[in-house]
Structure 1
Amino acid sequence: MIRFHLKCDQGHAFESWFQSGEAFDKLSRTGLITCETCGSTAVSKSIMAPAVSTSAEITAPKAAENPIEKLRDEVESKSDYVGDKFVKEARDMHDGITPERPIYGEAKLDEAKKLVDDGIPVMPLPFIPRKKAN
């Protein structure tokens, strides 16, 4: 996992985690990275200084200290896992067919892009849900 400092074409700065630099590039090319402030898809990596530790400081983070694990814990405790029904559930909530609630699940890249194109806010998560990993 890698954390990038990002900036949109409107000057808003924010950070996000990605599986790799190549993953960022692929998501960026398809318009799936959006500014958390204005929603712009014109997002680029900002200049960032690497964090360097001495060998005495290098230790593996505990699960509770790992930001990805913390995010996974929060998403999984506050959202419903809908698996491969994510696209239908998100669209039904957007269309007012079902009540809105926080959900997470899986969608193919083209399906996620179609949701975004239709004004339905979605974002990729930087982890595999525990329910899918088991």
Structure 2
Amino acid sequence: MKVLDLQCPDGHRFEGWFASVDDFESQLSRKLVECPMCGATHVTRLPSAPRLNLSGASETPKASSHEQAAQWQAHAMRVIREVLDKTENVGDRFAEEARRIHYNEAPSRNIRGIASAEDAQALVEEGIDVMPLPVPAALKGPLQ
């Protein structure tokens, strides 16, 4: 198993696990490798150090800024997936459905959808809590 450090044109860094380097190259040529944050299929391989198991090492090295960014991105993706999993997508009816729920005209539940900035502001002014959630392109399809 080969673990490769990858990056999309937007600078999102992530890991990919492949059976071999040839497997990575084959999937890349068929545009099967995509950024989990934005869905870009133009992905480049970054240089990576070999992973060494140094038993007896007394001090755990601090995470590099690249590792910290990758950890943050992975955490953000988990949070977004959880929100998507626990909400009902009402699409472009978001503002209407949020009002119906707020005024007890529809069952109370967690919803998500699309609203213009003006609609979102109007909901806030009516006392209806809303929160923008930028969803990466890779998660806009069915969850796997």
Instruction: Name the TM-score, length of structure 2 as normaliser.
Output: 0.46
Q: Specify the structure having the higher radius of gyration (Cα).
A: 2
Instruction: Name the TM-score, length of structure 1 as normaliser.
Output: 0.50
